[in-house]
Amino acid sequence: MGLFERYLTVWVTLGIAAGVGLGLALPSIFEAVAALEIAHVNLVVAVFIWVMIYPMMIQIDWSAVKGVGRRPQGLVLTLVVNWLIKPFTMAALGVLFFQYLFAPWVDPQSAKEYIAGMILLGVAPCTAMVFVWSRLVKGDANYTLVQVSVNDLIMVVAYAPIAAAYFGECDRSFRRIVTGGQSDVLSAVSVT
């Protein structure tokens, strides 16, 4: 591995620290950058994501993409982790931390919002970074493209229903905890 790849964690940490420091020192500049958006998509972020994935995209042998189906194990593993394990794990961690471990320090409304954020993160696979990590380890660009494409197609259809299911289940769990197991009482109160 080269210097950049070997110390990637250091560069990311320094980038985060620089971003926070500059944001605190020059908030008006960052507010102006944040205002550069179309349809709630920040243009600066969109450009940098494109810069991140473009090098990988130009390496793809489009005629070889159809051969990816001969090795389905990696794709199946990715789908199982992204759509079965990760959403459940993030929802479970959210409930564990914000309904139990941090409950004395986090008010109930904030706890519900944190859990919702963790569910949204857990249901959304980070597809842009898959290209970057694959390129860093000199992975198969064609296989990566298929993995990302399949995950993106599934996300279009499954993201909202899966998130809604976890929101509903966590909300029912939250109601049982708040009311000491008397969720019917809370439901009756919230209806009236």
The model carries a pTM of 0.59
The SS3 assignment for 60 reads: coil
Question: Is the pLDDT assigned to residue 21 strictly greater than 90?
Answer: yes
Q: Domain map of the chain by residue range? A: 64-191
pLDDT digits (tens, 9 = 90+) for 70-123: 888 888 888 888 888 888 898 889 889 998 999 899 998 888 888 888 888 888
What is the per-residue pLDDT for 176? 61
The residue type at 166: Y
Contact 98, 115 (CB under 8 A): yes
| CA 119 – CA 162 distance, rounded (Å) | 9
- The pair of structure tokens assigned to 23 is 């944001």
Give the largest Cα separation in the chain, rounded: 64
Q: What is the pLDDT of residue 179?
A: 53
Rounded distance between C-alpha atoms, residue 1 and residue 138, angstroms: 10
- Reading phi first (left if > 0) and then psi (alpha if -120 to 50, else beta), residue 84 is in alpha
pLDDT of 56: 67
- pLDDT tens readout for residues 118-139: 888 888 877 767 777 777 778 8
CA 22 vs CA 14, 16, 106, 142: distances in Å: 12, 10, 29, 38
- Judged by average pLDDT, the poorest of 8-12, 61-65, 104-108 is 61-65
Closest among 91, 85, 87, 68 to 170, alpha carbons compared:
91
